[in-house]
A and B are shown apart, each in its own frame.
Chain A
């Protein structure tokens, strides 16, 4: 048998995967007006081609033996200073392969949906230019072969997120939300940048191979902890984890396809990707993994309680996203990276599905987002309604949908590795998830219509419903195809990067599954009884519980606290610099120098009499003075 394995030559086209959306973005940016409606087609086609190419390249990658499934591509030398150099290097390995399939696949469906959703918008071309630019940066982020290129993608997606949240910037709230998202994530990004600097100072390079190969040989445990925590701070910001989660609910100001693509399926999962990618550093530290676990757990529970009290359909989904990302970090914190990645893929399907469904609902109800004014919509828009129900069941974790396996595996690992408290609290999180998504579904789609818009809502065009159906199919099938256990397809595929799944003893998988399903079903039943049966006055019930629901609706006043603790002192400090330090201190100094020179000149001009004789006397006295001085020196 031939033991030299030829690398499939198609893999050389790797750079095209991010390049195609970039070119399409430029086309839409400069010719968007001329293209008119065609701009959306160009953008969707670009992402579609990228997706097909990704599929082909991943197939080529899989055809290689496991130990060779990593294809680096050096594009050009980027920075070269002394012995430190960074190249524009891409790498296709099993982890980035998973990510690019999610990004281009789900991204394509969302682009198609947006063709219908954004129709008639005055900045139609620009929207797709931004969306494609986002896809480019996201692909760059996951394909990068060193931390610096990853950081370029990281900041690039942040920029696109800012541009798209504030896409309808005529409304001041949208512009404010965009600014808030940018500034909040920037806090994490700054920490991450310090982490990168620390890596450079310790390793002398930013290449993944050199840093992640065997970090224990180069750095001590404490350094690893510092680097990991700094990187994780970046992940906290980008993935909207407590305490930097506040930007994501407000980011719902952007158009709904943006919420689906950026704030549910891809960008916010970049933090999870970063942690999984940097796993060797986190593992070396140990402490960092515990921090990841705790932050994930706290976020999962915290955001789930907030989601339970929101009345805005998109804000429920936003808090739900935060909570689900918390679950992913929990998995990563337990070294169950495969579980994190599986949940990431599954979540991308069902959350994109639900966001697009919410957009479809808004489309049919004149941009109404208030759950209190919905009800009974499943009769008015059956495709949107039933696909949304599938998404909700997936999120609630009903067998055999993808969400069931995702959540169940994470809780199983918690149970099997002896983390009883994590298991119990995680189960509580799962219960809350089923409860809030049940509340959303029953309020919006079942029961009696509660407004004229709801009574006269209309379904969406095919270009919007077809992506919903495809995503729903994905949400159903992803669970069956990818994995049914910790030894599943995805776990084996990712093993070269993530290592084997942790093992342990605990309750049997069957028992855990039964518990999880029972909890999810009972939560859905309770939600149906409260919100759709019509026998419970849920608004009155909520009034009796005050002030708890009001606090949860406001996100437990975290925004208020930040406003009091940071924003207002910040504004005061800025005002002090502007109005006191600058206008009185700095300007005072400058004006003082100017005024002083003026006063000196005013005194000096008196000498200038214009009388020639007095000048001559000046010469004379000067000459005498010089003579006298010379005389004393003789």
Chain B
């Protein structure tokens, strides 16, 4: 028996919404970062689910791609957050608004 596709999509949607809310509402850069990861993984889930439904491998390949890219992104992103912390002693994104117009 197969799990119906709707389950995966609903779970993906819930995860994505949680991630989005996290990005929009959190002030801590680390938590925002984690929320972004949540969004990415929500999308990955959707990709893999559709891939299985269509019995095509493209979606899974793309999911692998996005994981690799996300891993690279984590490296860069965390490095930036650490640098910001060293410089300002905080990772509150509202404090880092030197680019305001």
The CA-CA distance from A271 to B86 in the complex, in Å, is 90
Whether B101 and A607, one on each chain, are in contact in the complex, defined by CB atoms closer than 8 angstroms, is yes
Contact with B along A566-607 (1 / 0, CB 8 A): 000000000000000000000000000000000000001111
B72 within 8 A of A: no
**Residues on the A chain within 8 Å of B32, using CB:** 612
In the complex, which of the residues B24, B98, B101 contacts A613, with contact meaning CB atoms closer than 8 Å? B24
A620 within 8 A of B: yes
The CA-CA distance from A617 to B20 in the complex, in Å, is 9
B100 within 8 A of A: yes
Whether A610 and B99, one on each chain, are in contact in the complex, defined by CB atoms closer than 8 angstroms, is yes
B54 within 8 A of A: no
**Residues on the A chain within 8 Å of B75, using CB:** none
A251 CB → nearest B CB, Å: 67
**Residues on the B chain within 8 Å of A629, using CB:** none
**Residues on the B chain within 8 Å of A606, using CB:** 101
Determine the residue in chain A with the shortest Cβ distance to B21.
A620
**Residues on the A chain within 8 Å of B23, using CB:** 613, 616
Majority DSSP secondary structure for residues of B touching A: loop
B25 within 8 A of A: yes
Whether A610 and B25, one on each chain, are in contact in the complex, defined by CB atoms closer than 8 angstroms, is no
Whether A611 and B94, one on each chain, are in contact in the complex, defined by CB atoms closer than 8 angstroms, is yes
In the complex, which of the residues A604, A609, A620 contacts B100, with contact meaning CB atoms closer than 8 Å? A609
A130 CB → nearest B CB, Å: 64
Known: A616-B23, A620-B20, A620-B24. A604 touches B101 (CB 8 A): yes
B93 within 8 A of A: yes
Known: A613-B25, A613-B93. A608 touches B99 (CB 8 A): yes
Whether B20 and A612, one on each chain, are in contact in the complex, defined by CB atoms closer than 8 angstroms, is no
Determine the residue in chain A with the shortest Cβ distance to B94.
A611
On A, residues with C-beta under 8 Å from B are 604-613, 616-617, 620
- Chain B residues numbered 56-76 whose CB sits less than 8 Å from any CB in chain A: none
**Residues on the A chain within 8 Å of B94, using CB:** 611, 613
A-B contact pairs, 23 of them (CB 8 A): A604-B101, A606-B101, A607-B101, A608-B99, A608-B100, A608-B101, A609-B97, A609-B100, A609-B101, A610-B98, A610-B101, A611-B93, A611-B94, A611-B97, A612-B32, A612-B93, A613-B23, A613-B24, A613-B25, A613-B93, A613-B94, A616-B23, A620-B20
**Residues on the B chain within 8 Å of A609, using CB:** 97, 100-101
Whether B93 and A605, one on each chain, are in contact in the complex, defined by CB atoms closer than 8 angstroms, is no
**Residues on the B chain within 8 Å of A617, using CB:** 24
Contact with A along B15-37 (1 / 0, CB 8 A): 00000100111010000100000
**Residues on the A chain within 8 Å of B27, using CB:** 613
**Residues on the A chain within 8 Å of B96, using CB:** 610, 612
With contacts A610-B98, A613-B24 known, what are 17 further pairs, Cβ within 8 A? Answer: A604-B101, A606-B101, A607-B101, A608-B100, A609-B97, A609-B101, A610-B96, A610-B101, A611-B93, A611-B94, A612-B32, A612-B93, A613-B93, A613-B94, A616-B24, A617-B24, A620-B24
Whether A610 and B24, one on each chain, are in contact in the complex, defined by CB atoms closer than 8 angstroms, is no
The CA-CA distance from A613 to B98 in the complex, in Å, is 14
**Residues on the A chain within 8 Å of B24, using CB:** 613, 616-617, 620
**Residues on the B chain within 8 Å of A607, using CB:** 101
**Residues on the A chain within 8 Å of B101, using CB:** 604-610
Task: Pick the 3 closest A-B CB pairs, nearest first.
Answer: A610-B97, A608-B101, A610-B100
- Chain B residues numbered 1-55 whose CB sits less than 8 Å from any CB in chain A: 20, 23-25, 27, 32
The CA-CA distance from A610 to B98 in the complex, in Å, is 7
**Residues on the B chain within 8 Å of A620, using CB:** 20, 24
The CA-CA distance from A607 to B99 in the complex, in Å, is 11
- Chain B residues numbered 66-94 whose CB sits less than 8 Å from any CB in chain A: 93-94
The CA-CA distance from A607 to B27 in the complex, in Å, is 19
